[in-house]
Structure formats: C-alpha cells, structure tokens
Amino acid sequence: MTPSAPLRVEGVTAGYRGVPVLREVTFEVGEARVLGLVGPNGAGKSTLLDVVCGSLRPTAGRVWLFGRDVTRLPVHRRARLGLGRTFQRLEPFSSLSIADNLLVAAELSGGGLSRSTGQPGRREDELSSSTGRRADDPATVVRDLLRRFGLVDFAGQPLAAVPTGIARIVEIARALAAGARVLLLDEPSSGMSEQQVEEFAGTVRALRAGGLAIVLVEHDPGLIEAVSDDVLELGVSRAVGSRPAPSTSG
C-alpha cells in the first residue's frame, strides 16, 4: 500500500443493521489510475462507495485521502479534500440548466480548475499555499468545462430535457467543478446507447490522463476492460493487461 495514494481503503467491514455486506476490503487507487469495481447485484459495490464518500460509517477499517485518515470525516469534508461521486440515479438539479448546475458546484467550491493547467484543482486556499496559483472564478470554470465536455450547445437547456448520456457527463463535469481529484463513478453507463458508452470510455481515459484517481462501478464488462488499470471483485484483485502507470512528472 502507498501511504500517499489519492485513495486508500484498508480492511473495511461495513453493513446495515448489524448485517455485514463488506468484509475486510482493502485496495488503493493511484494518481492517473482507474480501478474497476465489479461483482453481482448485492455484492456491496455501492455500499463500498458509501463508505468511501462518508455516507456510511464502517464497523472496521479505515479510509485515507491523499495520506489523510478521513474515516470519521463527514461527506462535505471529504468533498472539500477533493472527493467526488456520481450515482446510479441522476442527482444534479434537474430544473436548472446545465450551465447553472456547474455554476452551483463551482461557486460552492470557490472554483474547481487550476487556471494554468486546466486540470481538476484543489480548494483556493490550498492552491495559494502550495503552488502560488489561485483557482479560476466560477464563471470561467463553467466555460472551461462546457467546452471540455462538449456541452456548449446544451448549456442553456434544463438538465431534465437532455438525453441520459449527456446528463451522466454533466454529473462528472459538476464533480470537477467542485474540485474533485478522486472520482467515484457508480454505474455511469446506465441508460446509455452503445455509441454513448464508447464515447464515455474516451471521457474516462481523458480524465485519467488528467491525473484523476477513479473508481468505476460498472456492469458492462467491455467498458471495464476498456478503461480499467486494475479490477477489484470483492475479495479478489487482479491486474488488467500490463498498462503502466503514466508519469506525473513535468
């Protein structure tokens, strides 16, 4: 295990009403890596994401973000450290336009992208102290994300009026607007056409290339195989292919 990995889970056991769903689950996700999380319905995939994001407290084990023990931190504190999540059921504000969905997230976080890199950033105070850069203003973040994800033509439309595939992309863009550097994707291809799934695979690869650590819960084996560096089947971990971790220097 790497102490400074963006996401590290050690020996997590968790369940509901005293009935364990997860037993001693351990894994880590490095920078610019994708972990595919697979298993049958009821195996505890979404439960594991609940533990990581803080909506469910484990009965044993620990969760670490960027070397910090966050096991007892609430959801909003983890989000401020750079953790983002999408859900099986679409969660953004459906009555707001796509642009306003992103603006709400960017305003709450103080801007989610670094001005100089255009990549997912840290909170403004962290950027100021560690790199001397300041986060972009929320309006600039929104414009950058709309262009980056091909959402410009949909920007003024209510989220409820766009296809499911577009809405899934908006969820990811909203997480980045809030400053996510670790991204939990819960069955993101649900409701997508085959072509949309192929396009989505390209989106995940681009996010990985941008340095994000990603956990992907997915029932589509083709998507898992296409984008994952490693696969975890609750209790069993195996490497996928021989894809090396990309260099993050310079």
Phi, psi of 113 (to 5 degrees): -120, 145
C-alpha count within 13 angstroms, C-beta hemisphere, residue 177 = 31
Asked, for residue 159, whether it belongs to a domain, the answer is: yes
Number of Cβ within 10 Å of residue 236's Cβ equals: 9
250 residues of the chain, pLDDT tens digit each: 676 799 999 999 999 888 889 999 999 999 999 999 999 888 999 999 999 999 999 999 999 999 999 999 999 999 999 999 998 766 656 789 999 999 999 998 765 443 333 344 444 343 333 323 345 689 999 999 999 999 999 999 998 889 888 888 999 999 999 999 999 999 998 888 899 899 999 999 999 999 999 999 998 999 999 999 999 997 554 444 445 444 444 3
**pTM for the whole structure:** 0.82
What are the angstrom distances between the C-alpha of 205 and each of 62, 111, 144, 209, 227?
Answer: 28, 23, 18, 6, 6
Last residue of one domain, picked from the residues 154, 180, 206: 180
* Domain match, 106 and 167 both: yes
* Domain match, 60 and 139 both: no
* Domain match, 117 and 188 both: no
Asked, for residue 198, whether it belongs to a domain, the answer is: no
Q: Which residues pair with 22 in a beta bridge?
A: 14
Output the pLDDT for position 94.
76
Asked, for residue 142, whether it belongs to a domain, the answer is: yes
Last residue of one domain, picked from the residues 129, 156, 180: 180
Residue 56's domain comprises 1-82+182-192+214-241
* Domain match, 97 and 119 both: yes
The Cα diameter of the chain in Å comes to: 49
Strand stretches in the chain, DSSP E: 7-16, 19-29, 33-38, 60-65, 68-69, 83-85, 182-186, 213-217, 230-233, 236-239
Residue 103, SS3 per DSSP: helix
Output the pLDDT for position 109.
75
